[in-house]
Amino acid sequence: MKIIDNPYELRKELKNKEVGFVPTMGALHEGHLSLIKKARNENKIVVVSIFVNPTQFLEGEDLDKYPKRLEADVKICELAGVDYIFAPNIENMYNDSDEILIKAPKVRGYILEGHFRPGHFDGVLQIVLKLFNIVKPKKAYFGKKDAQQLSLIKQMVKNLFLDIEIIEGETIREKTGLALSSRNVYLSSEEKKRALSISKSLKLAAKLSLKEKNCNKLKKEMMKVLDIDKLQYIAFVDREFNYIHEIEEKNSIILIAGFVGNTRLIDNIYL
């Protein structure tokens, strides 16, 4: 396995190779690992990027304290059979003080996560496009845990005619139901217990939705179960992120975002 920080060097290495690509911000957990394993099974060459992208963090967010564990991440990648880690520094990736910018779509990029984190998806799409241009993957792997991100990346591939197949990975959960996230390390054990109410409420809604299709009624039932400090949204959308009022089987997503203590958590369920 090679670790490369220079975009031009990586591009040279990967020239004419069929690459499966897993972009990450490091602090790898089983969720990332399941994407890496999938990529390993489906591609000759697997590249994992590790880069905490500053442009997708808002003022006051956790950019500075975002968990960094490069040494452990390298071990995980090595054991998983990754061929290349791309671990650039900020100057490698942002080499101009007055850059060409990518703008997330006005509606789908500025609702839900985009409403509470305005500009977040501009930064995500900016870095993902840069990474795609460096790695030139045939397939790129993203988790359904970040459902809105996944949907916007698929839209970018379509709108900008990128020749890349986006592969979706299932959300990986602890046995308790808690969705794995690099931010879970911020939770105290008491907070972790209450955070479980998020996945519980989603599961409940999924079960009830077999009979009850009305989203308002489902939301009321979810609210009874939730035990978090600040709810930002419970939302019902179709797979293109248009709001819905009735659950449509195999075309709906229920999403939650909120704070447990100072930690912001998101989760969702695809129906």
Q: Enumerate the active-site residues.
A: 32
Least Cβ distance, residue 14 to ligand PAF (angstroms):
18
Does residue 237 contact residue 244 with C-beta atoms inside 8 Å? yes
Of the residues 80, 102, 112, 124, which one makes contact with ligand PAF according to CB under 6 A: 124
Does residue 246 contact residue 212 with C-beta atoms inside 8 Å? no
The stretch near ligand PAF (CB under 6 A) out of 17-25, 71-79, 100-108, 242-250 is: 17-25
Q: Is 127 in the site for ligand PAF (CB under 6 A)?
A: yes
Q: Given the complex with ligand PAF, which of 38 and 218 has the nearer CB atom?
A: 38
- Give the pair of three-digit tokens for residue 9: 């060097």
47-86 positions binding ligand PAF, by CB under 6 A: 53, 56
Least Cβ distance, residue 153 to ligand PAF (angstroms):
7
Q: Is 179 in the site for ligand PAF (CB under 6 A)?
A: no
Q: Given the complex with ligand PAF, which of 25 and 36 has the nearer CB atom?
A: 25
The residue count for binding ligand PAF (CB under 6 A) is: 10
Show the binding pattern over residues 24-53: x = contacts ligand PAF (CB under 6 A), - = does not: xx---------------------------x
- Give the pair of three-digit tokens for residue 136: 């030139």
Least Cβ distance, residue 143 to ligand PAF (angstroms):
7
Q: Is 23 in the site for ligand PAF (CB under 6 A)?
A: yes
The stretch near ligand PAF (CB under 6 A) out of 72-80, 122-130, 160-168, 207-215 is: 122-130
Of the residues 102, 128, 162, 235, which one makes contact with ligand PAF according to CB under 6 A: 128
Least Cβ distance, residue 118 to ligand PAF (angstroms):
16
Q: Which residue, 131, 94, 134, is CA-closest to 12?
A: 134
**Count of Cβ atoms closer than 10 Å to residue 135 Cβ:** 25
Q: Given the complex with ligand PAF, which of 56 and 184 has the nearer CB atom?
A: 56
Residues near ligand PAF (CB under 6 A) are 23-25, 53, 56, 124, 127-128, 146, 149
